A and B are shown apart, each in its own frame.
Chain A
């Protein structure tokens, strides 16, 4: 049986399913993005080909781990063309011999058993099967018989909201999360720690309940209480405390003495020294307080900043070097290239020291 999949990264137009500019589906949960986890799950059910179509801005893509792009057949299309591109991919699949195509939008995260879903589709002898949650709400996942191209076109033209023919309902009762808000993202991490969601942290378990990714640096004196996830290349300063199921995604920096409690720090977030980050999702210069249901933007890097990705850091260093180089050279020529000399100061007598009340300092001579 040849089953293929189209995964659409298309947040809802009402602004939900986004955190700043970034679709929540592209954000990491315990070291791997929601999108990657959806694709991994599909691969586990022997879905032979998966195409990801995304309406993602370039700024959002800059912070994605390279693995995300290497791992997937990723087609970036602007929002207006997304659904049309999905129709083209469907047509290609049908022409190249696929029997069934799973069409899903992330968006929502659900741990669907694709074998059971396909079985239901076959037994129902239907053209389209629509997956809904226990409450009957659509999870934006469909199985379409590849021969029914017109039905698929209609479904995609209407952005998975309307079907030309009645769909066979498939009621999914397993774990699902709408991922509409930052609170949902945090809940997904908590559910993963609790074992409700089958999400395995992407890292080595360094102590019971504490996972760390490659290259994580934890300074002596920092305290981490289980459960916790420390992502790849995270830096945790001395006397910092990470507690109550906190998640630090890749390249996060937590400075000295800061307490992170029941919070998720998104990739490339830098948190200043001596702060208290509690019950929050922090990232991309945004601080979402979960108990207050408030999202604020912070432009002070002493509080919350943004760690530039390595390639941008290198670019910044090169630019500042070239900016400084002419002035350094001019200064050097002004002094005929001679470096300032330091004159050794003779050791002061104890009498002189007691008079001046200070220690002698070596001074440069022009």
Chain B
């Protein structure tokens, strides 16, 4: 099942506290409110996540669900994973080992045993450092 909707891969900042969460939310808002968005948040760089950061992630999910889209987390750092587990919000997200796994999961079902394998099909979407990127 191939999807031709645009996919956005976004790397989250190192610190996701109240201030950075607010600016991130402002930045993401147009994307979240687009038609059926497909979003991957790369949490590999996140070193400090607090309650405001978690709340922002949950708000993103709510917005995405409203638009009939999907949001997945990828490469979650240990620090972020601990906070997500502690706040019981890990079960509200699809979490993948790597960004490529998360990307593939929009078009194929990726069983846990098959995750983190090299991507077989060429993927058009490219990862970005800071700016969200769209792929056809």
Contacts and interface: CB of A to CB of B under 8 A. Distances in A.
A303 B50 contact: yes
Nearest to B90: A276
29 contacts: A274-B87, A275-B86, A275-B88, A276-B86, A277-B86, A278-B85, A287-B86, A289-B78, A289-B82, A292-B78, A294-B78, A294-B79, A294-B81, A296-B48, A296-B78, A296-B82, A296-B83, A297-B48, A298-B50, A298-B83, A299-B48, A300-B17, A300-B50, A300-B52, A302-B50, A302-B51, A303-B50, A303-B51, A303-B83
Task: Among B17, B52, B82, B83, find the residue whose CB has the most chain A CB atoms closer than 10 A.
Answer: B82
Interface of B is mostly: helix
Given A299-B50, A300-B51, A276 B85 contact: yes
Contacts, number: 45
B86 A303 contact: yes
A65 interface: no
Nearest to B80: A296
A300 B17 CA distance: 9
- Contact-size category for A: 10 to 19
A300 B85 CA distance: 15
Given A274-B87, A275-B87, A292-B82, 4 more contacts: A278-B85, A292-B78, A292-B81, A298-B50
- Closest 5 A/B residue pairs (Cβ): A300-B50, A294-B78, A302-B51, A296-B79, A276-B88
Contacts of A292: 78, 81-82
A44 B7 CA distance: 69
Given A289-B78, A294-B79, A296-B79, A274 B48 contact: no
Interface string B1-28: 0000000000000000100000000000
A292 B81 CA distance: 9
A28 B79 CA distance: 26
A169 interface: no
Interface in A261-301: 272, 274-278, 287, 289, 292, 294, 296-300
Interface string B40-58: 0000000010111000000
Interface residues of B, number: 14
Interface string B68-90: 00000000001101110111100
Given A298-B50, A302-B51, A303-B50, A276 B82 contact: no
Contacts of B81: 292, 294
Contacts of A287: 82, 86
Nearest to A303: B51
A278 B90 CA distance: 13
Nearest to A289: B82
Contacts of B51: 272, 300, 302-303
A276 B89 CA distance: 10
A294 B76 CA distance: 13
Contact of B87 (A278, A297, A299, A303): A303
B97 to A, nearest CB: 14
Interface string A289-321: 100101011111011000000000000000000
A51 to B, nearest CB: 41
**Most B-side CB within 10 Å, residue of A272, A278, A296:** A296
Nearest to B87: A275
B116 to A, nearest CB: 18
A29 to B, nearest CB: 23
* Most-contacted residue by chain B among A274, A292, A298 (CB, 10 A): A298
Contacts of B52: 300
